[in-house]
């Protein structure tokens, strides 16, 4: 007799079994048989008790009796049959789930975005210096400086655009940061900008400024490859909202820049994007080309994205400034979706002021991305940051703890011994680099105190942040479900254990109940992070992994800025850059510092970070490329 649906759900609930758990698990266990059956047009093989036993082990839900498993079979087979109609819809990446994540309301019921916003007014301060002797003298100029030159008509947008396109072409063979030049579009935009500026129709500080887009943003008439093999010729018949807003501000799009395949790392289908300070290394990612091109003086600014470090990491490696906005401040319409509850778009530039000018243009709801909120971003570079309470993550500035090296085992093989020694050597090297880099973090605290800042020690909530990371991979696996199901994931360049194809497959074993439980833990995290930012307005921290995980899950804004260059005596970089660490640049490479703020306090965050940047001037350093 066929099991009644309600009885089946009740039975599973009584066993603490996630009812949607076995789709992925049982599918995977029977994968070869299913692929063979599908190829022959045959029905899928029935789920068996043996499969349930194996799936229960994978799900960590204990064991079931033979009678319980027999009771479950009909319901599980029926449930699996429900996947086919959904899969037959071939849902495109642009279709979101029927839920919306808003970090502040979840953290504090009744708080409105406007109540959380600052009360500053938008201002732009910029005055032109003398006309440059050569147009290329402006390659590393800030947006503020370029805007002043354009407004004074000392230079033309067309000249700037041609200069940046020439530099992109010149250095791409060394840094591999361009996927598609948008040259025809850019030259037309630049000519239009010059005509408008000459006619007195000045649109604002981005008018005529050449910029680059991370190639997960749709641009009509050009490929949008997501950096991934199998998507090289993908295109969309519309522009992303951010692109349209920058067009409206008069900015000039000169290139679609690289990203690690499907927004992971710095390896894409055309190679690996390089760090301009040390081209032997990758630029980190996934906003690899955006950070590398800005650092190399090949665009005025760029747009990147972050889900879990994709603005922070390449800005750290390449020594540029990145602003990761509060989740929901910038609409993501027309951008590749990786995680609907964590994806954020933000500017990468050569100064905090530049990032603020760009964010001022691209923020605000668009009526399509339901996560985008009507929070204000009222940027005022003259805001009195001395009124702010400044905290610092004390434990992140402490000396690294003593190493716990792996001890040899009594029955250890020669191969195991070699792996242990290699792991210990790598751990020692990593600690040596952390000890060296700590001097820059401590110098930052000293500089802040010299600026008159009273630093308040604080700590992140003690929560299992790592245990919440599967939320990201579960959403990513859903966003690219068809890639896994059709086997097209084999086209992706990277196929190792730390790459998307493997993560997507693993995510199919993540129970729906555990996904919901992790989201409930995330609600606790939001409440505790809100309480933290009731103590202070800004938090200073090294650009470390723990705060990256915590603040990306909680949706808090971050500003990452260069904090000096390592000296000639710095520890050498490892022979192989595995992409897992950003602090391995070696002598002559940049270090970074991160500033955090409460939800929708992005303007206050920028005002304080800009003050530190003006006091230090590290953003004025740039790599020697020739």
pLDDT in tens, 545-566: 899 999 999 999 999 999 999 9
Question: Hey, what are 344's tokens?
Answer: 């954020």
∠ CA 262-293-316, nearest 5°, is 75
Catalytic residue among 290, 310, 312, 592: 310
Catalytic residue among 19, 283, 286, 290: 286
Residue 35 CA to its chain's centroid (Å): 34
Task: Kindly give, in sequence order, each residue whose CB lies less than 8 Å from that of residue 510, ignoring residues fewer than 6 positions away.
Answer: 24, 470, 473, 474
pLDDT in tens, 373-391: 999 999 988 899 999 999 9
Q: Stretch 293-316: mean pLDDT, rounded?
A: 98
Q: Stretch 180-206: mean pLDDT, rounded?
A: 98
Q: Are 75 and 8 within 8 A, CB to CB?
A: yes
Q: Stretch 461-481: mean pLDDT, rounded?
A: 93
Taking 70 as the threshold, does the pLDDT of residue 33 lie above it? no
Who has greater pLDDT, 71 or 10?
71
Q: Stretch 97-109: mean pLDDT, rounded?
A: 69
Predicted pLDDT of residue 34: 54
Predicted pLDDT of residue 171: 98
Rounded to 10°, the helix 545-554/512-535 angle is: 100
* Cα separations in angstroms, 293 against 137, 320, 459: 16, 10, 35
Helix, strand and coil percent figures for the chain, each rounded to 5? 45, 10, 45
Who has greater pLDDT, 96 or 154?
154
Q: Are 502 and 353 within 8 A, CB to CB?
A: no
Taking 70 as the threshold, does the pLDDT of residue 40 lie above it? no
Question: Hey, what are 98's tokens?
Answer: 């029927």
Predicted pLDDT of residue 572: 92
Taking 50 as the threshold, does the pLDDT of residue 114 lie above it? no
Taking 50 as the threshold, does the pLDDT of residue 110 lie above it? no
pLDDT in tens, 510-526: 888 888 989 989 998 99
Predicted pLDDT of residue 53: 85
Taking 90 as the threshold, does the pLDDT of residue 205 lie above it? yes
CA distance 487 to 443: 51
CA distance 431 to 571: 10
Q: Are 95 and 517 within 8 A, CB to CB?
A: no
CA distance 158 to 150: 10
CA distance 470 to 476: 10
Mind listing the domains of the chain with CATH numbers? Answer: 1-89 (no CATH), 139-387+601-613 (3.90.1300.10)
Task: Kindly give, in sequence order, each residue whose CB lies less than 8 Å from that of residue 263, ignoring residues fewer than 6 positions away.
Answer: 216, 226, 227, 285, 286, 305, 307, 310, 336, 338
Q: Stretch 293-299: mean pLDDT, rounded?
A: 98
pLDDT in tens, 169-188: 999 999 999 999 999 999 99
Taking 90 as the threshold, does the pLDDT of residue 166 lie above it? yes
Predicted pLDDT of residue 432: 93
Mean pLDDT, the chain, as a whole number?
A: 88
CA distance 580 to 623: 23
Predicted pLDDT of residue 108: 45
Predicted pLDDT of residue 14: 39
Who has greater pLDDT, 82 or 451?
451
Catalytic residue among 19, 157, 214, 305: 214
Taking 50 as the threshold, does the pLDDT of residue 112 lie above it? no
Confidence of residue 121 (pLDDT cuts 50, 70, 90): very low
Q: What percent of the chain has pLDDT over 70?
A: 88
Residue 403, burial from CB neighbour count under 10 angstroms (0-12, 13-18, 19+): exposed
Mark whether 310 is an active-site residue: yes
pLDDT in tens, 576-624: 887 778 888 899 999 999 999 999 999 999 999 999 999 999 999 999 9
Q: Stretch 250-256: mean pLDDT, rounded?
A: 99
Q: Are 475 and 339 within 8 A, CB to CB?
A: yes
Predicted pLDDT of residue 125: 58
Who has greater pLDDT, 440 or 52?
440
CA distance 567 to 571: 9
- Per mean pLDDT, which range of 28-32, 51-55, 185-189 is the poorest? 28-32
Predicted pLDDT of residue 574: 87
Taking 70 as the threshold, does the pLDDT of residue 279 lie above it? yes
pTM for the full predicted model: 0.88
Q: Are 489 and 500 within 8 A, CB to CB?
A: yes
Taking 80 as the threshold, does the pLDDT of residue 13 lie above it? no
Taking 50 as the threshold, does the pLDDT of residue 10 lie above it? no
Backbone angles phi, psi at 491, to 5 degrees: -80, -15
CA distance 500 to 231: 15
Q: Stretch 2-29: mean pLDDT, rounded?
A: 42
pLDDT in tens, 607-617: 999 999 999 99
Confidence of residue 24 (pLDDT cuts 50, 70, 90): very low
CA distance 54 to 272: 39
Who has greater pLDDT, 150 or 119?
150
Predicted pLDDT of residue 31: 47
Predicted pLDDT of residue 412: 87
Question: Hey, what are 396's tokens?
Answer: 């992140």
Q: Are 474 and 24 within 8 A, CB to CB?
A: no
Scan for tokens 């899969």, then name that residue. 87
Predicted pLDDT of residue 326: 97
Who has greater pLDDT, 225 or 427?
225
Confidence of residue 124 (pLDDT cuts 50, 70, 90): low
Confidence of residue 410 (pLDDT cuts 50, 70, 90): confident
Q: Stretch 215-223: mean pLDDT, rounded?
A: 98
DSSP annotation of 571? P
Q: Stretch 427-441: mean pLDDT, rounded?
A: 94
pLDDT in tens, 391-400: 999 999 999 9
Predicted pLDDT of residue 545: 83
């Amino acid at each position: 007799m066929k099991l009644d649906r309600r009885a089946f759900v009740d039975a599973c609930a009584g066993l603490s079994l996630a009812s949607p758990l076995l789709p992925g698990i049982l599918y995977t266990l029977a994968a070869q048989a299913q692929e063979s059956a599908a190829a022959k047009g045959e029905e899928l093989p029935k789920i068996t008790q043996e499969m349930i036993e194996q799936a229960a082990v994978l799900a960590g839900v204990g064991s079931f009796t033979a009678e319980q498993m027999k009771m479950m079979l009909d319901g599980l087979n029926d449930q699996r049959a429900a996947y086919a109609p959904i899969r037959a819809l071939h849902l495109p990446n642009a279709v979101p789930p029927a839920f919306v994540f808003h970090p502040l309301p979840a953290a504090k019921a009744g708080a409105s975005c406007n109540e959380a916003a600052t009360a500053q007014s938008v201002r732009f301060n910029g005055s032109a210096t003398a006309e440059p002797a050569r147009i290329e003298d402006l390659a590393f100029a800030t947006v503020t400086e370029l805007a002043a030159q354009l407004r004074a008509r000392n230079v033309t947008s067309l000249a700037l655009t041609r200069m940046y396109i020439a530099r992109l072409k010149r250095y791409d063979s060394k840094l591999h940061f361009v996927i598609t030049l948008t040259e025809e579009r850019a030259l037309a935009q630049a000519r239009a900008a010059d005509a408008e500026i000459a006619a007195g129709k000045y649109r604002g500080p981005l008018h005529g400024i050449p910029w680059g887009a991370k190639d997960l943003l749709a641009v009509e008439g050009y490929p949008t490859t997501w950096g991934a093999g199998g998507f090289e010729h993908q295109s969309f018949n519309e522009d992303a909202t951010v692109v349209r807003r920058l067009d409206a501000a008069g900015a000039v799009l000169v290139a679609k820049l690289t990203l690690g395949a499907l927004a992971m790392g710095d390896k894409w289908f055309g190679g690996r994007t390089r760090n301009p300070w040390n081209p032997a290394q990758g630029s980190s990612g996934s906003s690899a080309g955006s950070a590398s091109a800005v650092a190399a003086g090949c665009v005025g600014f760029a747009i990147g994205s972050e889900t879990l470090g994709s603005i922070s990491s390449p800005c750290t490696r390449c020594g540029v400034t990145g602003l990761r906005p509060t989740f929901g401040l910038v609409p993501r319409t027309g951008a590749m979706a990786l995680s609907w509850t964590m994806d954020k778009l933000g500017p990468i530039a050569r100064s905090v002021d530049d990032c603020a000018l760009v964010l001022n243009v691209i923020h605000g709801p668009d009526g399509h991305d339901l996560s985008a909120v009507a929070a204000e971003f009222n940027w005022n570079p003259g805001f009195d940051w001395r009124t702010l309470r400044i905290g610092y993550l004390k434990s992140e500035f402490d000396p690294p703890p003593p190493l716990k090296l792996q001890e040899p085992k009594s029955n250890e093989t020669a191969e195991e011994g070699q792996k242990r020694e290699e792991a210990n050597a790598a751990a020692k090297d990593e600690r040596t680099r952390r000890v060296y880099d700590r001097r820059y973090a401590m110098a930052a605290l000293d500089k802040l105190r010299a600026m008159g800042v009273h630093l308040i020690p604080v700590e992140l909530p003690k929560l299992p942040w790592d245990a919440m990371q599967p939320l990201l991979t579960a959403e990513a696996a859903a966003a690219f479900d068809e890639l896994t199901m059709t086997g097209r994931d084999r086209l992706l360049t990277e196929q190792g254990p730390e790459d998307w194809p493997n993560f997507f497959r693993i995510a199919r074993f993540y129970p729906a109940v555990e996904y919901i439980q992790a989201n409930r833990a995330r609600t606790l995290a939001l409440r505790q992070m809100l309480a933290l930012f009731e103590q202070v307005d800004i938090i200073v921290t090294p650009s470390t992994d723990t705060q990256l995980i915590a603040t990306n899950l909680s949706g808090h804004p971050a500003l990452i800025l260069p904090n000096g260059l390592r000296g000639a005596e710095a520890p050498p970089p490892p022979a192989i850059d595995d992409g897992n660490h950003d602090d391995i640049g070696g002598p002559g490479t940049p270090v970074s510092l991160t500033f955090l703020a409460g939800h929708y306090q992005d303007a206050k965050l920028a005002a304080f970070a800009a003050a530190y940047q003006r006091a230090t001037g590290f953003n004025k350093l740039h790599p020697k490329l020739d």
